[in-house]
Amino acid sequence: MKLYLKFDINTICKKVLQEQLETLNLNYSVLGFGEVEINNDPSAETIKKLNQNLNDYGISVVESHKSVLVQKIKDAIVEMVYSEEKLSNSKTSAYLADKIGQSYGYISNLFSDVTYTSIANFIILQKIERAKQLILTNELTITEIAWKLNYSSVAHFSNQFKSATGLTPSAFQRIIDKRKSALQNK
């Protein structure tokens, strides 16, 4: 039997984090997406164990100041793209500058220096991943997905999707539907 799952990556991440922090009896506060404050003073061994446990789930603790800022930028973008609401029409640069508390020029240069890609490219990749997830759930049409992700037109969305994946959203959807159909007929 094959099950098709719909999931929220943010909720999964929070749940894993909570379980691991509670397993180690750490008193903590979740400050925001990807940011936790440990209220007590854990031993170096406890922090090492937490790092090991989180690494099993592909979660790592960021330590350098630049890496922390870049991770905050990535988290803000992921939070923005994966929101259940339609993406805002406001400028992403203003949103990120406000969310991070630094000028957009600074965070843009820092992001590029550390990741070797631009914030705009990272946003496109996140939007395409979100679009793939939305196509897999079959709850929205291609037009609705383009609107939800704040594309100016379905054509613009399709062009970016094809540029990133090599397939149009419709072709991607047909492949997924064929695979689902083939699996159900087995």
> Which residue reads 């909720």 in tokens?
11
Cβ–Cβ < 8 Å for 110, 66: yes
CB atoms under 10 Å from CB of 127, counted, come to 25
pLDDT-flagged residues of the chain (< 50): none
pLDDT at 147: 92
pLDDT at 173: 92
Domain boundaries, the chain: 1-61
Which pTM was predicted? 0.68
Extract the tokens encoding 22: 């509670």
Cβ–Cβ < 8 Å for 170, 142: yes
The DSSP H or E segment spanning 131 is: helix 119-137
